[in-house]
Each structure stands twice: as structure tokens, then as C-alpha cells.
Structure 1
């Protein structure tokens, strides 16, 4: 390994191809689905067929009539080894297997173990469960009433201090109510020249990672190894150890490559079940979900957002009230964090002195909802940016001009009181306007009769989750080669490559020469989780500190042998001079946790609510057929402030992927229900975007910016392009056809009916 003495070959800022690319394209990459160990049993889950009910009996006799079935376990079996078998990141409300009661269609009730997965699946069909059905609640608005209560009592996990006051609360579906108040909204509304009030709804959707969830538990003596497709190996180890009453060093969690995650594979999903089943069976247990089963495991929050704004005679926003109802499904998962951490951004990126926010996490008898790319922000931006356009049109003002007048500028504080420092809100808005030639109003011609062209734009922002901890280790071996150990999970976002670039830049090697160790909690140090676009900032800092630490130790080594690191050509020579042979290594450790100040419990105010802000926006030009309601995206522009890009090519891919994902959620993706039963839980019926749905032109813009407190001036980007897609399309449809859609998805049928209703109203 040669040491660079200058900055001519800087690694940060290079579009380095992803380091794991050759393994993946050659088919050699390791995935849990491909793993097999001696004596392994396959698990198949028996799921509830009712949305809410008491379990009267479970008859497994039919399963044992099938040759090859080894075990059938229920909740009572689990309780023999784990007296309190409930888990969850925010609330301990989710049982390993249902105990006494079920809360949604699809909840795990029993598990069958067999040597053959097809035998296990057949046996699962022969287990009969008798229920006493109970009234159910599916809608978040209805869940605000205590008529039907999903859980008898709230059980905060203790992980988050701000939830402790909820311990023992009964007769409610409100898992968390978050409130913020700034200024005097009531007085400001009374003084407003105009008051606008609208309601928006978003639907429940699924992550659809193309690698379904999978986990394998192997017990050896008094330890357990869990191989899992997880975004949070450190959390899995901590939670499994807590659940079993073990010390953490008895639980090892290993994560190879992931075939997508998007938030679906966070916290505990399958790991508790395979861990308990392996202990009961005294054999390795592997559980592989089908695509259908993922629809019953974790989803995205449906929501209802009521927003009210006061505008003065000069066209400035002076008051805003937001009420957000989050449909969390049967188990809280991380929903309370969505409710608070995203809820406080509900007023949007606007300079409003008087704000009040009421944000509610609600239990219902639907499949659980949790983190999904954007962490609640796309649902909020969908509402407040549609609302913004509606205000502008009702005032007779250009939507861009209205935004320019009201946008947060410079270091002005957001509703929480935290400064928008290093947040290029204006820059993103202006870049979209420029690329769309908004002021020129240069519309292209429609392609035929009955077709109309429209344009729309939208902008949103997100806070990073905080406070969280990341730790990294950089080791330089005696021959000068470099290894990076971290528990951040590369699930396709390119984090291994970006982190290797940071190491390479500081230590003085090529990125391609840095080996990145995939997460293994016995080897790789703690990282809270790979979520919320936190890795670039949080882990990036930890990696930077570790690399700086090891470089300082190399400098000390050079000094001890009478040399200078700046003039050393090969690191390996230093070790030989130090130890007399090729021996030893230098180890650098970095730990990072950002500054954070908890919000005031009464007002929700904090001047350090987040270490950085992510800004993203979208401009859309589309054509709609007014006879059928069908529309197509002609051009989409995604712009984002991500600070200084560590790897520009990876950033562009992130922007494209995020925008396409949100495009599906906007145009057609929706989980459909009948009495709590998902009726389209397959890729045959639940459609995700295909090549025909890609906009004719899609452009990604990295807005020049610098995050002063970020590693090399960088911050996260994985979610930014999800923010503005939905409202930009809705705003463009209004521009084209004069109809306003307020519920997602915006299907051709919805547009058709809106156009017909408009025509009937005009008639």
C-alpha cells in the first residue's frame, strides 16, 4: 500500500463503481436465501384468518399426519422458554406467536417445522384454529374513537424516554400523540385575510423488496447465530438477547448482502420466531417468507392529513394548523417515531410564525406499518404541497411565486425552532424552476385531440433521526492493506463504497484497495441501524474518526522508527522496521453521536431537533387524456440538497430509484382490503412500476451545497427524491385538466371520475 503525499488523487468525490458489483453480477454474492446448514428445519407460519378475535383452540393433529413434519409450535410453547414473549422497537406489543388473541388477518398463530419446505407448507394448511371474532377497526379516523380498542394496555418498550409516560394507558388506540405549538395560531387565524382548509389521504402500500424476508437461527451450546436479511443487526442482537434473557455476547447476528430493504427489514421481523423455534426444536430453523407473506409483515402508514392555513392580504402565510392521523396497524413497530420525527415537519418548508401540530400514531386491525423510504415525509409533502398549490390558485397567484414569497430562507428556524442551516430549500426550488423553464411557460403541444399538457412542482424536507450512535474500526495490516469494519448494511444504496472512499481518502490509498467487512456483530462494531438516510452522516463521521485515528497511529509508528509518514512510500515497510518482520497491525476506532436536544414536552420546541436537514423536490410535465383519465409522465426533474456528494454516480442512482419508487405509490400501488383481508397480496395483483411506467425523460439534479458539520461536507440522500413526486403529479394534473385529486393513488379511474364530475358541475 502506497501513501499519497498530495491530494491529486482524492477518493471522496469520485464516481467509484460499487465495490460489490462484480460479486453481484457474477452471481457469487452471498444471500441468506442461499444458505443451508446441517440438520436445518424449514419453518412455515400459520396465520390468522380473522382481523380481531380470541383464540379458542388450535388443532394441529392434521399436520402430524403428514410425513416429514417434525414440530408444531404455538404461543404457549414459546412461553415455556420466554415467559414474556413480546417485542418491538417502540412498544413491546408484538408476540412471537399470537397469545390468547389475534389483531389482524395474517398475524402468526403457529409455526410448522419440517425437513422440506413444501412439507411444512402443506402441513400448515392442515392446522385448524377456532376464533371468537371481535369487532374490528380499520380506518385511522375511526380508530380515534374508543369504540373498538386493539390493545388492552399500552406497553412502551423503554427504548425511547419520551414514551414512558404512556405505560399502562388503557381504552385507547392512540399509541402516541405528539403536539407542537409555536406563536399564537388562534390569534393569527382570526387576523388572516384568507383561511384555507383541506383534507388529504394516502393509502397503505408495501415495500416489495425483491428479496423476501428471511432468517436462519443456529444454536450451538449456549450461543446462537442468526443469519438474517436485516437492516439493523445491532438492534436484532440487543433485542434477541433481551427477549431470551441472555447477555449480548451469546447472540451473533450476521448480515450478508440484501436484495433491497427500504425500511421493511428494520428492527425485529422474523428473528424472534426463528430464535425461539430453534431453541424449542434444538435444531437450526430457517424461515423464508413468500412475497404474499410480506404484505402481512410490515407496510407503509396510510394517513389522513387535515391542514388549515391563514394568509394575510400580502399573500404571506401567517398561521397553519396540521392534524395528522397515522394508521399504524396492529403493532406499533416504529410508528411512534414516524409520528413525532416526521410529524414536526408537517407545516412544510415555509416561514410561518404561528403553527400548531397534532400528530397521532393509531392502532388498527390492519397489518403493521413501520418505516418505509421517506419515514412518513412523502405522506406529509403530498398534503402540504397540494395544499400550497390550491392556495395559490385560489388567490390567483402563480404557484412558484407563492412559494418564493413564503419559503424558509437562510438560517430561519423551522416550526420546532431549529435553524434551517445548510438547508438549500431555495436552491432546490430554483433549480427545479430553472430546469422546467417555469417563467417561460413553454408548454409542448399535446399529442392529439382530448389530450392536455400540465406542469407541477413540489418541494419537501426531512430531519435526520437523532440521537443515534455509530462505531467504526479501521485496521491497517502489516503488509499495508486496509480493512473497514462497520455494521451499516449495504442493501444496494452503495454505502460500502462511500465509506471505503472516506477511509481511502484519509489513510491515503485507493478506494478499491479497502476491504469492507459485512455486518457480523461479533466482529463489526455497533451501529443503531441503516435507516433514515443517517449512514452517510452518522457512520460517515465514525469512519472518518476511525481513519484519522489509524493514520495518527501510523504517524506515531513512523516517528518511532525515525521516519515521517508523509515521506513513507510503503506502509508495510514501517511495520517491518517496527517489529523486525511483517507483523502487527494498527487499529483505529471512531464513535459518533450527534448533538440533539429533546423537544419541550409542552410546546415541542427544540433548537437542536436534528443534526441536518434533507431537501428534495420534483418537477413534472405530463399529458392527460381527458376522455379516459389516463396520463403519462413526459418529463420528471428530481433535485436534492445532499451537501457534497461522496460519490456522484451513486447519488444519481439513489435519486432515480427513490423517485421511481414514489411514482408507483403515486400512480397505482395500493393494498386493497376486504374486512381486513388483503385481497391483492401478490405481484400478479399488486403492481409496481415497470419499464413502461418510467417517465420519457428523467433528470436528476444535485444542488450545490455544503453541510458544514457533515463528513467531507456530505449528508444523506436515499429518501430525498421521494418527497415531491406525488404532489408534483397532482399539481400538474390540475394544471392540465383543472381537477384536484386529494387521495392517493392517483389512478386513471380517479382522474376520469374527477373530470366527469367537473363537467357535470359545470353543466
Structure 2
């Protein structure tokens, strides 16, 4: 294990080179979709439902259509009259209409769209549309949605069949459960019967907003040749192209999707969101159309799943984990989006990275009449980690065992079988745990029991506080099967270009891909140009999400660059009269490995082979990972993923006994990144994950009343700021090179987010001696838990422990 990844004999890979997009971004020259202006462009606005569940009886758009500046008004009723149009879309189920047809399913459901000369005119016209609703009974939370006889959010569902891992998904008929994942391993009931201790708890995690700096925005227009060109703030350009072609009955060659820089995504901008309705208006008006959401609209477009997790664990008298049973309920809102994949992938990790012989997991994707939920950094794993790591900590504490040592004794090792039956490999979870424990000086006290309450002073005011330390680990699987394609071009002057559909959204992918090409071809990183996604020229990529770009696109780019290098060396070998295997490339030269003075510059190699200026060498590659689908009844698979992401977090907190406020004094988070391509960027990713997750742990929460979001703006919804960052926060790189990764790399985008909440929650328990089970850990909840401390202690004396403290 190393902490930095620096200092190796490498030229580009493994070094903290500056970002290739840094200068453009800090000087304001970087272009985003929100900056896009096309001559003759119209602006769009949406009319949204004020009710959570209602039948549309009548729509009168007459006044809107005659409003000054309006070019088009479209409603759901119009969609069914358009020949060749399939108005439904969605990556898992085609359950969402471009505009509501027949009924609305959440407050904010788009009902009509207007295109006008200005954004203001479009919004004014949208408010002139008259809609008559017949209000229907709504299901506003998972509990209501699961009751017998509950109103159905959807009467019929049509699977999308767009991705191999979602083929064959089925909803439970005549219920609001659109997907139920099951995992069965061992004999759970027998193990519980033999257990000396049984722990049973329920944990909740609320809905939260992605809060990207740039809201969703799409511009669409039709060229003279009938090409539909869409530039959009999407993480999924290849999928959006496919979806638009299907919706509008167009050949793929007639749909072009481009993505410039993206102003943050965090999962919010995966799959199609605004693209169908914007393209519809462009096709209807034959003019360019731009639709950009307001911040309030952004809040009801997509969010993180609210989750309830019921977890029961059987433990032997000597502390061994015998069995774990988990039921996870995901509030997926009115439309499934990618929720079935979230429910599946997070579901099979819900018992944790532990060697537990008997496991039963049920993970339910549930429709409600709330805004849709979808992918969020961590893809549902932080919600289940909050549950299983809180309870694992509780078990260790109840048994009088050190929480770090207890985890170490039960964590999976290389070659062990995961709950799915998949053998574990390239697994550094124990190293991650040890690293964060050392960073917060775990053995120095404050862990597992409450210290005396010291008096501290802040601005001269005395405060009584308690302090504690906590740890947690997390595991997430890489998306599989998955496909990434790339093209690499080497120019005669020694510069290179990379064509890929990976979206640069702040994570540093442009720099990473440039480093891989520079390393493979022996050129300078600044001389590598990464072409942003343009489906007319950049090859297919499954998605920019799920911590997959380093591993998947990195491999595709490396293989494409290797094919260029083969051509380069073949040409140089003739001139140098040596075997190509004896050649190396560095600093813009090709040379003999054992005689570096014998070599040619890249321009000289090109000059020896071509009789024309400006020529290129081109390499193409497609990297595809495979997986064995989990069994429908048991969730078992010998190869559920190609790679695991593991990490750990540790926190030292201070709890104010008068206000209930939790302050994180010291925080460490470690991620196994394989071999880091760019160590500094890895640390930035780990830090970003941690800070985002700290905000969601302590105060972020979407509030609904009667289906209406009540804090849908930054005035009422807080996100973490500089004052919320712990005074001491340490990102730790742990290296366990992956044999299939590009230069041994894995990825890091989400790993730092997995275990943050549980580590802080466990530290709060160590301070107070009482366990909180509901996020966020607000002062009100902390004070309430302190008041209930004694009753909670009394409850622990029963034979069935319901979470110590």
C-alpha cells in the first residue's frame, strides 16, 4: 500500500500533472450547454402539474398559442396524434411520457410545453394554459404504496430492453413494486435459531438533491439534411442518441448528440431528461429550441432515493456473524428512471463486505407519487452502508469488542465468496480500514465509549461537549456488462487526439485519458487533445457514471493507443533496422531500448513513411466487460462484476450537549483506486465525495407535504459549504493494482462517498452512548436521542437487541 502513488519511474501515468482543462475553466473560456446560442433559437418552458396524482380531463392551450412570440404549444393529447412517434421513454421501463398523457403522477410532472421567442414569453404563455384535473388518491410514501389495495401509480409497464443487465426485469403485477431483487445464500432461518444474539434495527436515509452548479439544459435543432442535432448536459450521449432515434422513428445516423463541458452531474444527468421534449419542439417548429430548467424545476426533476432498511443479524456467542437478513425499500417516485439497477446493484451489497455464511436480501423498487429518484453518487450504496455499518458497529459495541478489530475479523479476504457467490479479488478493504483508523489515532481513546464532557469556549461562550470516534467500510461493484469505444490519432508533428464519448464533468477524465495516451505513445500530456462527445464521430460509451470511466474508457483508450504504437514502431523498425519489440517511445522519440541514442523523432518516423504532410496514424478499440446475470430467485452469480470498489471512513466528532449540533473535527477517508493515474486528482475526488456526503449526513433532506416539495431552492435547502468542511480532512489513496485495469487503475469517483454517514453516525454513538438511525443527524434528532438515552438502555436488556444505544 502507498499513500500517494508518486515517485515512480513513469512519464505521464502515476504523476499529478495539471488538468488539461484547467486554464479554460479558470479563465471562463470553457463552454457549457447553458452558453449555447444558435441563430434563430427559440426558448422553451414547461407547464407542470400542481397535483401529485390526477386524471387530465381537459387542456385548453388557445390563449397560450396566441400569446406574443409563441411558435408552438404541445400537450400530451397532441403526442398520441403524431404519426411515427413513440411518446414514452426511460432506461429501465418506458413509463414516462414526453408530456403527461391521460394523468399526472407527481407535483411537477410536465403537462405542456411552449416554444417562444424569449424565455419570458414561453413562461408567460405556459401559465395561460388551462388544465382541468380529476384528483386521484395518491401514495406519498413507500408504506402507503405497499398497502393492499393502494392506488396504482402505473397500471401497465413496458420494459425498455436497452441494457443487458436490465433485460427481463418484471414488475409485481397490480402493485406499486416495479422491481424486486432477491438474494438467498445458506440457511438463514436455521442460523438465526442457533444464534446467541439477534440484532434487529430499521434505518432510514432521506431523499436529497444532486445540486449540480449547472442545471439541466438542452438545445435541439434540425439541419437542412434532416439531421436532429441535440447538444445537452447529459452524462449519457450514446444512450440519448439511441432513445431519441427510437422515440421519433429516426435512423441512428440522423441523430447527433454533442456534449461540451458539463457543470456537474453526480448521476442527475444520466439517461434522457429534457432531450425528448426539446427535440419534439425543434421538430415541430423546425427551429432551434433551448430548454433550461430553473433551480426549482431542477429539484423536482430527479433526486437521490429515500430508503428504509430493515436489518437483522444473528451472532454466535463468540461474536461470529452467522446470518444477516436485509429488506430495503426504495422510494423511486413516479417514474423508474434507472432505479431498478440501483435497487439491484445496491441490493446485493446490502449485507456488507463481510464473510457471512447465511444471507437473505430483499430489495424493493417502489413507485410513489413523488418526483422521480435515480442515480446519485454511490448509486444507492451509501444508503445501505448507513444501515449495515451502523448495525455492525452496534454489534461490536454491545459485545464489548473493538469496532475496528471486529470488522477486521469478519471482512472478506482475497478469494472469499461474496454474498452473490462471486469470488473476491483485488480487494484492499482491510488496508483501507487500517489506514483511516491510524489517521484518526483510533487507539488513543474516544472510540466506543463516551468521554467526560469537557467545557470548551467559542467566542468566549462556554459549551459542554462530548467527543467520539467512529469508523465504517463500504463496497460497491463496477457496472457490468459495459462497453466503451475509443479512437486515438497520432499526428505527424507528435501531437495526438482522443475521440471518446466520456463526458468531462469536473472529474478530470480529459486529463486522465490524455495521460494514458501520452504514456502509451511517449508524447507530452499537453499535446494530447481530448475531443468531447459527439456521436457523429466519437464511438459508443455506455455512460459516464458508476466510477467506470477510468477502468472501461481507460482500457479502450489504452488499447487504441497501443494499436497506434504498433504502427509507429513498425515504421520505425524498418528505418532503424531493429525488431519492433526492441523499441520504446518517450519525449516525442522512438528509440532502441538498449541504445537510446539510436532513434527518430515522431515527425522523422512519419517522414520516412509518408510522402504527404499532415498524415495520421489511427487506432480504434472497443473494451467490453462481461458478467453473469444474477439468478432471479437466489441472486447468485459466479461473476456479478469485473471489479469491486472498496473504501473506509473514520471520523472524530464533537456533540454540543445544549444545542445537539454535531461538528466533525477530524475526518479521513480511504479508497482503493488501484494504481492512480493522477494521484492529485484521485485525492480531489475522494475529498469531493467526502464533503458532499458530510452535508447529506448532517443536514441535507428534501421535505414533502402532501406530495409537494417544500424546500425546493437553495434558500431552503442547504448543501455543504466551506464552514462545514472538517478542520482536518485527509484523503488516503490505497493501492491494490487491478490486473485488468489500465496500468492497474480502477477508479475513484464514488468510493469516498460510500461510508461517510456511517462513520459519523458511529462517532456520534461513541460520544453519546445512544445510536441514531435516521439521517440526517440534525440537532433536533440528536437532542431527542439524548432525551431517550435511558429508555433505550433499558430496552437493550431484552433477549432481542434492537440496536445497542
Query: Under a length normalisation based on structure 2, what TM-score does the superposition of the two structures give?
Result: 0.92
Aligned-pair distance for 1:386? 0.6
Which residue number in structure 1 is paired with residue 216 of structure 2? 213
SS at match of 1:222: coil
- Confirm whether residue 328 of structure 1 aligns to residue 349 of structure 2: no
Aligned to 2:317: 313
- Divergent runs of 4+, >3 A: 160-170, 442-446, 559-565, 759-763
Gap regions ≥5 residues in structure 1 = 1-6
SS in 1 for 2:333: coil
Match of 1:689 in 2: 720
**Partner of residue 150, structure 1:** 153
Mapping 1:511-522, distance limit 5 Å: 511-522=525-536
Aligned to 1:129: 131
CA distance in 2, matches of 1:67, 1:422: 63
CA contact (8 A) 1:56 1:131 kept: yes
1:489 maps to which residue? 503
Q: What's the secondary structure of 2:472's corresponding residue?
A: strand
Note if contact 1:139-1:364 (Cα within 8 Å) is conserved in structure 2.
yes
Query: Which residue of 2 is the match for residue 738 of structure 1?
Result: 769
Query: Which stretch shows the higher mean deviation, 111-120 or 575-584?
Result: 575-584
Count how many residue pairs are aligned between Structure 1 and Structure 2. 757
CA 1:9/1:413 → structure 2, altered by over 3 Å: closer, same or farther? closer
Aligned partner of 1:713 among 738, 744, 750: 744
**2: CA distance, partners of 1:77 / 1:569:** 66
2:361 to 357, 364, 384: 357
- The alignment partner of 1:705 has SS state of coil
1:101 to 97, 100, 103: 103
Deviations 1:298-354 (Å, cap 9, x if unpaired)? 111111101110101110101011111111100000000011111100000111011
Deviation, 1:559, is 3.6
8 Å Cα contact 1:479/1:582 also seen in 2: no
- For 1:170, the equivalent position in structure 2 comes to 173
For residue 205 of structure 2, what is the aligned residue in structure 1?
Answer: 202
The aligned residue for residue 522 of structure 2 is: 508
* SS at structure 2 position matched to 1:259: coil
Correspondence 1:642-653 to 2 at 5 A: 642-653=673-684
Give runs of aligned pairs for residues 401-440 of structure 1, distance below 5 A. 401-440=405-444
Distance 1:75 1:442 in 2: 60
> Which residue of 487, 494, 512 maps to 1:480?
494
Question: Does 1:467 pair with 2:470?
Answer: no
User: Aligned to 1:208, what secondary structure does the other structure show?
Assistant: coil
Partner of 1:273: 277
Q: Which moved more, 1:164-173 or 1:23-32?
A: 164-173
Structure 2: segments with no counterpart, 5+ residues = 1-7, 457-461, 579-589, 592-597, 795-805
Residue deviations 1:138-176, cap 9 Å, x none?
212332234121000121111245655556863111111
Question: Cα distance, 1:761 vs. partner?
Answer: 7.2
Pick the aligned partner of 2:697 from 661, 666, 669. Answer: 666
* Structure 1 residues 760 and 338, CA gap change in structure 2 (3 angstroms): closer
Deviation at 1:739, TM superposition (A): 2.2
Does the aligned pair in 1 maintain the 2:446–2:767 contact within 8 Å? no
> In the alignment, does 2:210 pair up with 1:179?
no
Q: Distance in 2 between matches of 1:105 and 1:462?
A: 33
How do residues 351-750 of structure 1 correspond to structure 2 at under 5 angstroms? 351-441=355-445, 447=456, 448-561=462-575, 565-566=590-591, 567-750=598-781
**1:558 counterpart SS class:** helix
Gap change, CA 1:469 and 1:188, over 3 Å in 2? same
Shift of 1:599: 1.6
- The verdict on how the C-alpha distance between 1:168 and 1:530 changes in structure 2, with shifts beyond 3 A counting, is closer
SS at structure 2 position matched to 1:338: helix
Between 388-397 and 650-659, the greater mean CA deviation after superposition: 388-397
* CA deviation profile, 1:612-655 (whole Å, cap 9, x unmatched): 11111111111111111012110011111111110000001001
Shift of 1:442: 6.5
What aligned pairs does 1:26-65 form with structure 2 within 5 A after superposition?
Answer: 26-65=27-66
Partner Cα separation in structure 2 for residue 277 and residue 599 of structure 1: 41
SS in 2 for 1:568: strand
Post-superposition CA distance 1:704-757 (Å, at most 9, x none): 321122111110111111111111111111111122111111111110111123
TM-score, reference length from structure 1? 0.97
- 8 Å CA contact retained: 1:141, 1:304: no
Q: Is the 8 A contact 1:153 1:169 kept in 2?
A: no
Task: Confirm or deny: 8 A CA contact 1:198 1:387 kept in the other structure.
Answer: yes
SS in 2 for 1:276: helix
> Residue 369 of structure 1: SS of its match in structure 2?
coil
The secondary structure found in structure 1 opposite 2:405 is helix
Say whether the 8 Å CA contact 1:411–1:422 is kept in structure 2.
no
In structure 2, distance between residues paired with 1:561 and 1:77: 68
Measured on the aligned residues, the alpha-carbon RMSD in Å equals 1.7
Q: Is the 8 A contact 2:172 2:179 kept in 1?
A: no
1:84 offset after TM fit, Å?
2.5
Match of 2:800 in 1: none
Question: 2:367, 2:606 → 1: CA distance?
Answer: 60
SS in 1 for 2:547: coil
Deviates more, 1:441-450 or 1:156-165: 441-450
Give the Cα–Cα distance (whole angstroms) in 2 for the partners of residues 74 and 22 of structure 1: 44
